[in-house]
Each structure stands twice: as C-alpha cells, then as structure tokens.
Amino acid sequence: MTAASAEQLARTATLPGRGTPAPSGIVLGQQLGHYRIDRKLGAGGMGEVYLATDLALDRHVAVKVLPDDVSRDATRRARLIREARAQARISHSNVAHIYFVGEEAGRLFFAMEYVTGQTLADRIAAGPVRVDQALEWIRAAALGLREAQRQGITHRDIKPSNLMLDAHGVLKILDFGLAAGAPGAVIEGPVAQTSLAGTPLYMAPEQARGEAIDARADIYALGATLYHLISGKPPFAAESAEELVSLHATAARPPVPRRGQVRTQIGAIDELCARMMATRVEDRFASYDELLRALELASTARTQPAGFWVRAMASGVDFMVVVALYYVIGGLLLLGGINLDDNGNLLFPVLGMYQILAVSRWGRTAGKALFELEVVDVETSQRPPLARVVRRTLAMLGVPVALGWAGRALDAVGEPAIGNIVEGGAIASIPVLVALLLYASARNTSKRAVWDRASSTLVRYRRSTSM
C-alpha cells in the first residue's frame, strides 16, 4: 500500500463526511449575518467551509457551518462552539484567527481568517523537504501550539493537512475542531477525551487508546509530521486504521532516510524524531519550551554551531593570550624572587582558570569574541552556569594539567627521566584535543566535542535574536 493511499485511508477513516458530506442547505450568494457566501472550500465531519465576503469590512473570510442534517445535534453544535472559542482565545501569528461566531435561522457558524496558500500535505506531495526548512515549519507549529497550551488547549489532530503556509510563507495551524480543553480555563494536566478523534497516521498511542492526553500527544503528532516532511512518507503505512494504531504503539519506527542530505544532520533529526515520537509519554519532551530548544539545536540555520577551523583559531588566540599573561606575570614575580616554574608548570592551570572566569562571566573568551562565537547551555540556550563551565574546562584541560603536575612530582622524588616523559605527555595532549575537535566537527551536526557533551554546552556563532 502506498503512503498516499494510506493517508487517504486514515483521513476517511477518522473524518466522516469527507467522501459524501451532508448538504448544509447553504446557497451561494446568501448571507449569514454580515457575511455573503461566495463558494464552497471543503467539507468534513465537523462542518462545511465556505469562502465568504465580510460585507462590513470588505474582506474575504472562511465561514464554517454545521451541516443542515446535524444542525440540531447538541453534541455537534457544542463541538463547533468549542472550536470557535478555543481558537478565538489563541492570539498568535501561527494560529488562524477567529473573527465571529453566530447563528442564522437555526444554523450555527463562525467566521475565521481565510488563509491562501498550500498545506504541508500539498507541499509533501511535491517531494521531501530540506531538513532546515522542515525544522522551521515544525518550530512555527510548536510556537503556535505552545500558545494554545497556555490557553488550556490541546489540538489533538496535528497533521500536514492542518498546517498551512500562507501567501507570505507563514505557517498557520488550522482546524481546532477536535481541540480538547475547558473554555476559559488554563489546564496544566491531561485532558480527558470524550471520543476517539484524530488521524491514525500521526496519532499518539495513548490518544488512540482513548486515554487522557496532554500537549505531549500533539508533540508526538508533530514528530510524525516532521518525519513525513523529511522522508517524503509517513512513519508507518498500513491497510487499515486499526493496523496503523497498532504500529504506532508497538512497532519500531523506520530511521529517517538520508536522501542525499547531510549525514550528520540526518542522525540528529532521527534522534529528535525518536524522542518526539517516543511510545511512552514520559520519554517525550516534557514541554514546548524543551522541544523548541531541541529544534533550534538541530537546525544548522538557526543555531549555526562553530566548526573546526574557527574554533581552532579562537583557541589559538586564547592560548597566545594566556602565554603572554603567564610570562608577564611570571616576569613580575621573578623580580620579587618567585619563579613560577619552581612551583610546577602552571601554564595549563592558568589557561583553565582563564576559561572558567571568561566563559562563566561573559559566555566567551577573547578568542571566541574575536570570531563572534559564544558558549551556551544546550538546555537553556543561555550562558552556562559556573558548575557546567568548570566541568567543561576539566574535561578539556584536566588531563594535561594532571600530567604536568605528575611529572613535577616525579622530579621531586628523584625520578626525573620518568617525570620528563610524563610532562611531555601534557604537551602531547594538545594534538589529541585538536583531533577530538576535528572528529566532533566531522561526525555530528552540532559539532560538540567530548568536553561540550560532558558539560551539556555548545559553541555557536553569536546571535541577538531570542527564541
């Protein structure tokens, strides 16, 4: 079964009315309130959508109407009102705006922003999307969903066809018809489902089981959408909706195919999708803030991690600065009868202290400032706290410092030959550090060396914009 046919199956299985929607009795040219109906845009189990003209403000709007044959269904009416109220409470550039909700001759309707453009489902039909572009769209959706969560809303039906790019390329979240949440209340915990709703191609396992859900169900669906955008096909395909639900709950997700894209970045995307689509709710990102930081780190366009050459040159500048300071201070102390070398080789310890003081205070050293780089905490995207800076410095310079002092200790106990060998190891560790940095730059998209990973830090180009 093809991915396209699987998606069509999932849509028709969960959105009754797509094939043969019940007529609403709407006549082109008639008015609902101050909106003139111009033409039909689409239909689904939650209602029919028309392009209309706002006669008061002379603009196009989309009007959603409950079909005529279910207009007296209290459950459907309540759901339509819930959709309008849910969306109206969300004021965000990545969520389609609600303008009005009303009733005309017993027919419930609401008017919303008319978004021209294409859905992500239309875009996927043209082929896989570049990684950084896909990450930008998912990031935009996460920003809109974060605002929805702040208003107590869980969307419950995130999928490519509900994410639209407007004429300016801005992503808009559409169709809150399945949104869960109590009107007027901000909900921190999970939301109980009144019915099974959503699209199996992207549905979280707990949502398919009809359990209480929270924002992490939408994060799962975003992960499945991200996978679809980059790979060109959904994570799972099956002959029935029931089989799709089972695959999401039990099967191992196929890895994200490389398809000619950068190998190191695809590896990072695969890890990102794995966490977003974790079967166990507690293994996913706990919040949208956490997800947004991960999306930012995975995007080379947004994070711009520093590579080998610029970091090597910045480190060279720092080393020269410390050497100059070391010999200036050493010369001044020598005038007072104190020889630094008599107390052991303090060059590497001084370099370590310089790193700790500069990074913890300013987030960058003199060398990094010269090349417009900064060290950030990967969990906050801010300057790392002192404890992490110390851990980073020890992971980077702990071995040469220990070898240098061990060599001097061996000299002091009458083993100068062995001491010289050990001290030489301190100098020899420098090319090892260079090799580790080169390996990290070639192997992973974030270009994080061993000491970066040990301290949960990242070296990137500086930027002034915030998330």
Unique residue bearing structure tokens 């959706």: 141
Q: Cα separation of 73 and 70, whole Å?
A: 5
Residues 359, 318 contacting (CB under 8 angstroms):
no
Kindly report the length of the chain.
467
Nearest to 320 by CA among 362, 370, 363, 390: 370
Question: Which helix or strand (DSSP H or E) is residue 303 part of?
Answer: helix 300-303
Active site residue 157: yes
User: C-alpha distances in angstroms, 107 versus 15, 36, 63?
Assistant: 21, 15, 12
Q: How far apart are CA 355 and CA 397, in angstroms?
A: 10
Choosing from 54, 157, 175, 218, which is the catalytic residue?
A: 157
Contact present, 63 and 102 (Cβ < 8 Å): no
Judge contact between 315 and 449, C-beta under 8 A. Answer: no
Distance of CA 61 to the CA centre of its chain: 31
Q: For residue 81, what is the DSSP state?
A: H
- Quote the distance between the C-alpha of residue 383 and its chain's center: 20
* Residues recognised as catalytic: 157
